[in-house]
């Protein structure tokens, strides 16, 4: 396990180094294309031992200082101070990208809050307020936020112990194109409650214990007949500016036809929403593992929601999905479902098993059971960076725990503004994850904008094809969550209608880039650092496996390896040369890869492009 940890740290370093180099070159390319003076490459110097998150923490400290100053101004009772506080709230929302958690009073230490210990004792931060001051500040902050065109809602208010409150301040997005989105991959074993939980969260009505809530989610006839998800489904949950989930009016209907027919359309949700949570509903059955892997690697999820049936425990594919999520360094959230129908002793065994697995050397996660709104609020902001794993205990029949999950999802930060992942000032790079042929529209692709910006009517290149060439095309129209938009930015998931492109000419894993005289290279062979996670015998030259790298899913062949014996076993590390079997692909140095064949699995990173 220590070998896996060391390797993960190493591939993260390689990934970060290559991304920094490519971005510096990207800035030069953009400047050349726009005929601007070439900017010097940005150099980031970090003090020894300081993590990349320190900048974020510094920024959050500035925002906390602004919040304290706003509270002081609002408690003065002077009209001029009220106006100044209102202007500062507008500034605060702008700096926080339109969404901010405003804390009033003192805050308990997270270590004590998350461990479930009594909150009495030292370590509290913030300024002590009386209950009357907290109530006054809540009213004033709500009024000031509404004056600047935003919405404020009280998330949590403590009336016992030290008086404190947390408010959500949110600005409605000016258009659907700018609505922040959080992508969540939902995984777990068969019958763990994935589709039922999503049905309850997105439709609003509770389940009847026989699967009523999930009927509206199935996309194919065989899914309805078997009750199993076999495709990568996409569901969205919208939250309004005041923090409430956007649900259909027929949420509590008992009629199955009504549930399927009267669900809210994505366009209707997108227009009302100030934040969208997109659920990637992945298959739980073993024979659909390749579909699940593709969803995890191509969907760029902000976190993985692992469903565990309380009556069955962490079994089968649940462990497989957890291992893959950890290998890909995606934050994990655990939901233990069916707590209403599970005997207490079985539930206790499941909880004990989940905690043991999360604390194991392979996971190195600190499990935190969410038992209050305050815990859900604080966890949503820090769990990804501090290796915490929130655990929710749910019942889709009684509704237990669902409010905590909705609150947690509502507050999850969108990674669209995360400049370590996505940057607008880079050249256009769009990964194709789905392709359709739409009547009267033509070929439509769906995918994620990894870098740059794009608008309708723009000339672009699509490729590489089977010969490694790129085709010229034009973006006729664009949609985001089925709502028409005219522009898209890095980090967003959007659909393009392409001009004069046949459906047969497009496949998953292709990219769309700006039209230039020198299109990107199509790569047939590359070199990577790999770690064999599991193989029952030995891997040798000419071994073939299915490679997952971003939106790419293709069989590769091992052409060479630097291992002294020329073979690889479970736990071995090596520099390996791969060759795509079918056609060349668009890959870059620093991209993480996962390859599998049967039960064989390997993890790695691309270090060199060959040809």
pLDDT of residue 49: 38
Chain centroid offset of residue 120 CA: 35
CA distance 284 to 187: 7
pLDDT of residue 217: 56
CA distance 448 to 429: 9
Chain centroid offset of residue 125 CA: 30
Instruction: State the residue for tokens 């258009």.
Output: 175
| Pairing mode, strands 181-188 and 275-281 | parallel
CA distance 542 to 585: 19
pLDDT of residue 216: 56
Closest Cα partner for 152 from 71, 244, 53, 269?
244
User: What DSSP element (H or E) covers 498?
Assistant: strand 493-498
Closest Cα partner for 274 from 366, 166, 152?
152
Cβ neighbours of 525 (radius 10 Å):
17
CA distance 85 to 70: 5
Angle at CA 335, nearest 5°, toward 216 and 104? 105
18 φ/ψ angles, rounded to the nearest 5 degrees: -70, -40
Q: What domains can be seen in the chain, in order of their start residue?
A: 2-16+522-609 (2.40.30.10), 54-170 (no CATH), 176-417 (3.40.50.300), 429-514 (2.40.30.10)
**Which residues, at least 6 apart from 437, have a Cβ–Cβ distance to it below 8 Å?**
443, 444, 503
pLDDT of residue 38: 52
Residues of the chain with pLDDT under 70: 1-2, 31, 33-60, 209-233, 250-263, 284-288
CA distance 593 to 550: 8
SS3 409: helix
The packing angle between helices 79-95 and 54-75, to 10°, is 160
SS3 107: strand
Do 421 and 415 form a contact (C-beta atoms < 8 A)? yes
Do 199 and 252 form a contact (C-beta atoms < 8 A)? no
The packing angle between helices 194-203 and 402-411, to 10°, is 70
């Amino acid at each position: 396990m220590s070998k896996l940890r060391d390797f993960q740290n190493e591939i993260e370093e390689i990934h970060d180094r290559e991304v920094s180099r490519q971005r510096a070159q990207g800035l030069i390319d953009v400047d050349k294309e726009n005929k601007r003076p070439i900017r010097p490459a940005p150099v980031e110097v970090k003090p020894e031992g300081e993590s990349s998150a320190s900048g974020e923490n510094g920024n959050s400290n500035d925002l906390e200082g602004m919040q304290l100053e706003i509270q002081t101004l609002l408690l003065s009772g002077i009209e001029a101070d009220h106006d100044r506080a209102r202007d500062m709230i507008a500034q605060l929302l702008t700096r926080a990208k339109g969404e901010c958690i405003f804390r009033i009073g003192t805050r308990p230490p997270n270590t004590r809050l998350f461990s479930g210990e009594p909150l009495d004792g030292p370590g509290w931060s913030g300024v002590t307020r009386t209950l009357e001051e907290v109530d006054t500040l809540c009213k004033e902050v709500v009024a000031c936020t509404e004056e600047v065109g935003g919405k404020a809602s009280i998330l949590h208010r403590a009336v016992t112990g030290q008086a404190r409150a947390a408010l959500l301040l949110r600005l409605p997005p000016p258009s659907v194109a700018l609505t922040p989105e959080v992508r969540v991959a939902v995984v777990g074993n068969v019958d763990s409650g994935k589709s039922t939980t999503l049905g309850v969260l997105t439709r609003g009505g509770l389940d009847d214990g026989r699967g009523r809530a999930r009927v509206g989610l199935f996309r194919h006839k065989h899914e309805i007949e078997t009750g199993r998800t076999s495709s990568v489904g996409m569901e969205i949950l919208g939250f309004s500016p005041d923090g409430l989930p956007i649900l259909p009016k027929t949420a509590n209907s008992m009629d199955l036809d009504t549930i399927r027919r009267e669900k809210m359309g994505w366009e209707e949700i997108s227009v009302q929403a100030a934040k969208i949570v997109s659920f990637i509903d992945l298959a739980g059955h073993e024979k659909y593992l390749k579909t699940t892997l593709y969803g995890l690697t191509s969907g760029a999820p902000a976190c993985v929601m692992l469903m565990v049936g309380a009556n069955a425990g962490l079994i089968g594919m649940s462990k497989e999905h957890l291992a893959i999520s950890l290998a890909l360094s995606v934050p994990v959230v655990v939901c233990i479902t069916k707590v209403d129908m599970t005997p207490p002793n079985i539930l206790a065994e499941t909880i004990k098993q989940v905690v043991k697995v999360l604390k194991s050397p392979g996971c190195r996660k600190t499990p935190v059971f969410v038992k209050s709104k305050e815990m859900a609020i604080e966890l949503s902001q820090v769990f990804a960076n501090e290796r915490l794993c929130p655990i929710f205990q749910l019942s889709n029949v009684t509704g237990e725990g669902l409010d905590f999950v909705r609150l947690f999802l509502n507050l999850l930060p969108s990674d669209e503004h995360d400049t370590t992942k996505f940057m607008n000032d880079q050249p256009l790079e769009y990964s194709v994850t789905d392709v359709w042929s739409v009547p009267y529209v033509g070929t439509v692709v769906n995918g994620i904008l990894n870098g740059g910006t794009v608008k309708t009517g723009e000339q672009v290149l699509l490729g590489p094809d089977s010969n490694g060439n790129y085709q010229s095309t034009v973006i006729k129209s664009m949609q985001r969550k089925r709502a028409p938009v005219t522009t898209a930015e890095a980090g967003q998931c959007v659909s393009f209608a392409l001009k004069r492109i046949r459906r047969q000419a497009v496949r998953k894993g292709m990219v769309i880039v700006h039209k230039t005289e020198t299109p990107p290279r199509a790569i047939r062979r590359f070199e990577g650092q790999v770690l064999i996670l599991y193989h029952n015998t030995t891997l040798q030259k000419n071994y073939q496996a299915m490679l997952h790298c971003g939106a790419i899913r293709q069989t590769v062949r091992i052409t060479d390896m630097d291992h002294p014996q020329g073979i690889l076993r479970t736990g071995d590390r090596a520099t390996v040369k791969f060759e795509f079997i079918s056609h060349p692909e668009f890959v870059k140095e620093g991209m993480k890869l996962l390859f599998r064949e049967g039960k064989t699995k390997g993890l790695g990173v691309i270090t060199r492009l060959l040809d």
